[in-house]
Amino acid sequence: MIGVMGAGAFGTALAISFAQEDRVLLVARDEDHARAMRDERENARRLPGVALPDALEVSAETRALSECDIVLVSVPTQKLRSALEGAREILADKALVACCKGVERETQLSPTQVIAEVLPAATAAVLTGPSFAADIARGLPTALTLAVADEAQGEVLQASLNAPHLRLYRTTDVTGAELGGALKNVIAIACGAAIGAGLGESARAALMTRGYAEMARMAHALGGRPETLAGLSGFGDLALTCMSEQSRNLRYGLSLGREETFEAGVTVEGVATARAVQDRARALGVDMPITDAVVALVAGELRVREAMDMLLSRPLKEE
C-alpha cells in the first residue's frame, strides 16, 4: 500500500491519482479533518468537488503508515523536518518521496537532504515537475520527474508510482531536479510582481528567460546537470508556474506588484526559498540578481519598478 503524509491539496490529489490503481492511505494532520474526509468522501478544505476513490483510506494516525513501503511526504518544505522527526520510528527504513519544492531556510538543505539527515536509513526521493493539484485530482494528463540517486531504487519507485494519466520520468540527478522545483518559485514571484505592476508580458518573458539562466548557474555550482534543468523539473515547471494564476507564487508576486495584501494562510514556498538560496549563492559566489531582487521586494526594501530598474542597469554582457 502507498502512503501519503499530508492532506493538503497536492497530497490529496496524488492520493486520488494512485488510488485508481492500488490501495492508498492518506494521513491528515488532525482527526477533525480526517473524519470530515471520511464522512464526505472529499477534501472540502483543500480540494472541494473531487470525490475520494473507494480505495483511498483516510486517517489522522501517523502510525498507520507502518503498513506502507512507499510514503509520499507532501508537507511544506519549511515543516518537513518536524513532520519527519515526529514519525521517526515509523518512517525510519521506508522509501520516502518528497512532494514539496523549496530549500529549508535555516540549513539551506533540499527536501531529500533533510530526509537523509533526519532518517539516514530511508530511501530519499523527490517527485517534482509541472503539476497543479486540481489537474492531477481530476485525472488530467501530466508528466513529472522522479529523482532518486540510486538507479535500481528509482526503477522500483517508478514502476510502483506510475499512473495512467501521470507519466513519470526517472533521473538520478536529485540536485538538479530539486533545484529546478525550488528556484522556479522564486522566478514566479518576480514574474507575478512584474505583471502586477503593469510592466507587461515582454517583461515576464525576459524574467523567465534570465531566471532560467540563474537556475542553471546555481544547479551547475551544486553539481546538477544541464539536461535536468532543461526538462520537466526545470523548464517545464518554470513555464507552468510563471504563466498560470493557479500558482500561489505567481499570485503572491501579483499582490506585490499591485501593492495589495496577499491571501491569509496560503503557503508561498518561494519566499523562504529566495532567502535561503540567496545565502547559499553568496557563499558560492553565484550571481543571482533576480533572486536578490525578490528578497528585497518581499522585505519591502524595493518597489517593483525600482527592482526592474536595478536589473536593467546591470553591466552589459553576452547572453
CA angle 21, 26, 32 (to 5 degrees): 145
Question: How many CB atoms are located within 10 Å of the residue 73 CB?
Answer: 28
Q: In what order do the strands lie in the sheet with 123-128?
A: 56-59, 24-27, 2-5, 70-73, 95-98, 123-128, 142-148, 166-171
Question: How many CB atoms are located within 10 Å of the residue 206 CB?
Answer: 18
The Cα 176–Cα 40 span in angstroms is 40
The Cα 18–Cα 84 span in angstroms is 22
Catalytic residue numbers read 184
Q: Which regions of 174-285 does DSSP assign to beta strands (E)?
A: none
C-alpha cell at 299: 522585505
The Cα 113–Cα 108 span in angstroms is 9
Contact 207, 187 (CB under 8 A): yes
Compute the half-sphere exposure of residue 70: CA atoms within 13 Å on the CB side of its CA. 24
Name the strand (E) or helix (H) holding 244. none
204: nearest Cα among 259, 235, 236, 243: 243
